[in-house]
Amino acid sequence: MQRLFSNFANGWPGIGLLTQRLLIAVALLHYSVAHLVHTNDLTILVPSILGGAAGILLVLGLWTPGACVLAALTEIWGTCWHIVDVRIAIILATIATTLAMIGPGAWSIDARLFGRKHLEIPHR
């Protein structure tokens, strides 16, 4: 993961990335729950479950690039099967794709797991 991103943005850029992750996650979880409650068609349930899983990963900031790609693919799937509003799906897929390129930011599990480590040299 560290090879994908040179650093995990902190400060205002980090807050922006956190906001972007949460925006995508809330939208994915909202549509996922709505589809799970109102249908039992597999062509709708499968992308809804995958989108919900991507939303949970994005809230946590865990495996963010993969979760973003999964989110974008589920939105494209929803567009092809006319499950979701095309405009919203395109916006979510675009934001998810850009977030996959930029990275999760400092406030994420990815930053804790894969960020640069500071080595402390013990004094003798």
Mean pLDDT, consecutive 10-residue stretches, the chain (124 aa), reads: 62 91 96 89 87 96 94 92 85 95 88 72 71
Angstrom distance (rounded) from CA 81 to CA 91? 17
Listed residue (58, 51, 20) closest to 33, CA to CA: 51
Instruction: Locate the domains of the chain by residue range.
Output: 14-114
Single-letter code of the amino acid located at 58: L
Q: Return the pLDDT at 69.
A: 96
Enter the tokens of residue 48: 């809804």
Q: Residues of 13-28 as b/e, b for ≥16 C-beta within 10 angstroms? A: ebeebbebbeebbebb
Single-letter code of the amino acid located at 38: H
Helices 86-102/64-80 angle, 10° precision: 160
Distance of CA 38 to the CA centre of its chain: 24
Q: Return the pLDDT at 15.
A: 92
Question: What is this structure's pTM?
Answer: 0.83
Q: Return the pLDDT at 2.
A: 47
Angstrom distance (rounded) from CA 47 to CA 95? 18
